[in-house]
Amino acid sequence: MAAIRSFFRHVAAADPASFGVAQRVLTIPIKRTHIDVTYHLTTAEVDTLIAAPDPKTPRGRRDRAFLLFLARTGARASEATGVSANDLQLERPHPQVLLRGKGRRDRVVPIAKDPARALTSLLSERGIAHHEPRPIFLGNERLTRFGATHIVRRAATEAVPTRPALADKPISPHIFRHSLAMKLLQSGVDLLTIQAWLGHARVATTHRYATADVEMMRNGLEKAGVNGDHGVRFRPKDSVLQLLNSI
């Protein structure tokens, strides 16, 4: 539909004789779609998922590093799997990573201390130098989106016995992105910064996190005094009534 509308805008500008047809096409209303609730995890749930892989095995160490990367950077699955060693800067004091986003919108985001340590260990274990254009997260070759989803679901299966509430959550690589966005918002980070961090083309996309946070709405009600409690009706004392009557 977007392509059709774009074409008929061109027709309206380039061929005045067809303006009437183009105008009728352009006035066709856009279908309203249902927007699902944005689910996110608590900090404890995220930490439980990250701790699920077995650190004694190479696969477990890779899985933990991948989960940490998703949780701390807010990267999309395709962005995380597309990261190579030369996209990383793990040296102190400001570790960061270059993410190659949708629509060729690249961005640089900071990396927290725990994923920086995990990534440094992973590179050392694989014998990969920081300047090499080699993938970090590997299956047989570079990890795919299917492989990323499999890692997250396997971690969720292992974490459910520890935190049963995870069984009712739609666990996927993208839920880490939602969870980081909500945590940033609840910490007071402004929407424009979150937009730049997540690589959203429009701030309206980022704004849905603000509308999804029920706890922030409750706090807003308390701050505004809109809680439905009108208190006890004022009842004047006899001395006050006598004073008023004497006026």
Q: Which residues are catalytic?
A: 76, 102, 174, 177
Q: CB atoms < 10 A from the CB of 152, how many?
A: 23
* Separation of CA 8 from chain center: 35
**Whose CA is closest to 174, among 39, 53, 47?**
39
Strand ranges across the sheet with 96-100: 88-89, 96-100, 106-110
3-class secondary-structure state, position 155:
helix
- Tell me how far apart the alpha carbons of residues 147 and 134 are, in angstroms, rounded to a whole number: 18
Q: Where are the alpha helices (DSSP H) in 74-213?
A: 77-81, 113-126, 145-159, 173-186, 191-198, 203-212
- Tell me how far apart the alpha carbons of residues 96 and 109 are, in angstroms, rounded to a whole number: 6
- Tell me how far apart the alpha carbons of residues 71 and 47 are, in angstroms, rounded to a whole number: 9
DSSP element (H, E) containing 47: helix 43-51
